[in-house]
Amino acid sequence: MSADNGITRELGLGEVISKTFDLYRRDFVVYLALFLIVEAIYAVVTEVVRQAASLPSLPTNPTSQQAANWLSANLGTLAAGAASVLIVALVVFPIAEGAAVKMASEEIQNRRSSIAESAKFAASRLLSMWALGIIVGIIVILGLIALVVPGIILAIMFSLVLPSLLLENSGVLGSMGRSRELVSHRWLKTFATFLVLFIVVVIISAVLGAISASFGPASDFVSTLLGAFTAPIFPIAVTVYYYSNLARVAPMQPGQGPATVAPPGMKFCSNCGTQLEAAAVFCPKCGARQPA
């Protein structure tokens, strides 16, 4: 590993963990602010839905008819509340995770990206992230239903789909293939890396949970906000591990594919890797201003 943030060779398991927390520490306030915004939005929406619903309680040991009547009378309210929470979960959280991946990538490449720029970048790929999440989720769930082990193998195989999608702009199916290529011959290491991270996050979450419990009636709200402390860890770790494996299989610039040298009179967008004319000031694809 070089003295700066760059990753020029494959990292060991301990180095991946160390690098993850080093990047988090360097921009702790920025990552925390990003996920505090997300957690605050989610907590507020959830509380508003809960207060607005004010559903009447069911009688003790209700009959099936009473339960059916209660559900029929309150179905609209329940559906609206669930839809509100679901929209926040499906929009805000993926954008935040994508933004964290983008910011970690910029750090690793010794560049800077603001929360707003990173969130805009992730939002522009939200539909692709949805499609990717649905496809990979179905495949992994089917694998788990089959014999459990195939599901674990598939989860490992597609563990790097998000940075592949965002940083290489390779499309849904292309990012799945890219993730499989990057983790090939590193199945056990990949499993061990994310298992260790999971254990670390569980321990931190348990400590934060104990802290939030001391707030009494407000413990649920405080617990949600404290979740912002652990939320950036996995997006950063996935990005670090992506670059570690990228350095092993085929060193290249994200978004540029195998080619690392632009044709004469051309250059690549510094943000998304799209090929541009040398005189281009802005990228027509992502809108990023190009360095002089």
Return per-residue pLDDT of the chain as tens, 292 residues.
334 567 888 999 999 999 999 999 999 999 999 999 888 887 777 767 666 655 566 667 777 776 777 667 666 666 666 776 677 778 889 999 999 999 999 999 888 888 999 999 999 999 999 999 999 999 999 998 877 888 899 999 999 999 999 998 888 999 999 999 999 999 999 999 999 999 999 999 899 888 888 888 777 778 777 888 999 999 999 999 999 998 888 654 444 444 444 555 667 777 666 777 777 777 766 667 777 6
**pLDDT confidence of residue 141:** 92
Instruction: Give the model's pLDDT for residue 136.
Output: 94
Q: Please report the pLDDT score of residue 1 as a whole number.
A: 37
Indicate the SS3 state at residue 292: coil
Q: For the chain, how big is the Rg over CA atoms in Å?
A: 22
pLDDT at res. 155? 94
Angle at the Cα of 18 from the Cα atoms of 244 and 26, rounded to 5 degrees: 100
CB atoms within 10 A of CB 35: 22
Tell whether 164 is covered by a domain: yes
Token reading at 215: 């707030």
Q: Return all residues near 164 (Cβ < 8 A) that are at least 6 apart.
A: 170, 174, 175, 176, 178, 179, 182, 242
Residue 93 lies in a domain: yes
Q: In which domain, by residue range, is 172 found?
A: 17-56+66-248+264-277
CA 27/CA 33 separation, integer angstroms: 10
Pairing state of beta strands 275-277 and 266-268? antiparallel
Specify if 259 maps to a domain: no
Residue 174 resides in a domain: yes
**Any domain includes 44:** yes
Bridge partners (DSSP) listed for residue 277: 266
Residue 157 domain-assigned?
yes
Of the candidates 218, 219, 198, 201, the one whose C-alpha atom is nearest the C-alpha of residue 210 is: 219
Name the pTM for this structure. 0.75
Q: Domain count for the chain, please give it.
A: 1
> Which pLDDT value is given to residue 56?
60
Q: Is residue 7 part of a domain?
A: no
- Residue 232 falls inside a structural domain: yes
Crossing angle (nearest 10°) for helices 115-123 and 28-53: 60
At 267, give phi and psi (nearest 5°).
-150, 175
